[in-house]
Amino acid sequence: MKKQSKEEFLEELLDPIVTEAGYMLYDLTFEKKGKDWVLVIYIDANHPVSLNDCETVSRCVSDYLDEKDPIEQSYFLEVSSPGLDRLIKKEKHYLANIDRRIAVNLFAPVNGKKEIMGLLKKYQSDFITILNDDGELMELETEKIAKANRVDEIDFNPRHEVE
C-alpha cells in the first residue's frame, strides 16, 4: 500500500470542512518557504471566488486545525482561488475541464512541440485527448505531461470614454 503524503492527508482531512462551508477544495500545498512552513488551500465555487470567500474558509479551517492540531510544526495558513489559469494536476481537475481550453507542457516534444494548446476532449488515467489549435486530435500520455493548466480566453476590452 502506498504511503500517504502530508498533502494527501491534509486534503482528506480538510475536504469535508471546506465542503461544509459551501466550497470545493481544489488543491492544497504544504511546503517550506524560506524558514517557514506554509499551508495553502485553493478553493473553488460555482461563482467567482472572492476575498470574503477565502476569509470564510480560512476561519473554518483555522478553527478546525486549532482544535484537532494535526500538524506538528508551526505554519502559516493561506486560502486562495486557484485562479483563471489554474493548474490541472488531478483526475478531478481533468474531468472538470473537459471541453475547456488547456495548455499542456510536455517533458519531451511530441510532433516537434513541447507545448500544446487546445480543447480537452477526453481524460483517462493513462492519457488525455486534446483537439489542438490546428484541429488535430492528439492523445498524450499523462506520465509525459510536465504541467497542464486551464487557459480561459477573456475578452478584455475596456472602454475609455473621452469627453
116-159 pLDDT tens trace: 999 999 999 899 999 999 999 999 999 999 999 999 765 434 44
96 and 146 assigned to the same domain:
yes
Q: Which three cell numbers stand for residue 149?
A: 493548466
22 and 73 assigned to the same domain:
yes
Q: Is residue 161 part of a domain?
A: no
Is there a contact between 48 and 37 (Cβ–Cβ < 8 Å)?
no
105 and 138 assigned to the same domain:
yes
Amino acid at residue number 51: L
Convert the pLDDT of each residue in 36-73 to its tens digit: 999 999 999 989 999 999 999 999 999 999 999 999 99
24 and 49 assigned to the same domain:
yes
65 and 96 assigned to the same domain:
no
How many C-beta neighbours within 10 Å does residue 15 have?
13
What integer is the mean pLDDT of 111-117?
A: 93
97 and 120 assigned to the same domain:
yes
Q: Which three cell numbers stand for residue 134?
A: 490546428
Q: Is residue 159 part of a domain?
A: no
Q: Is residue 15 part of a domain?
A: yes
Q: Is residue 108 part of a domain?
A: yes
β-sheet bridge partners, residue 110: 113
Domain extent, residue 44, equals: 6-80
How many C-beta neighbours within 10 Å does residue 14 have?
21
| The dihedral sign for the CA sequence 17, 21, 26, 29 | negative
Number of folded domains in the chain? 2
35 and 76 assigned to the same domain:
yes
Which of 58, 71, 66 lies closest to 21 in space, CA to CA? 58
- Backbone φ and ψ of 121, nearest 5°: -105, -30
74 and 13 assigned to the same domain:
yes
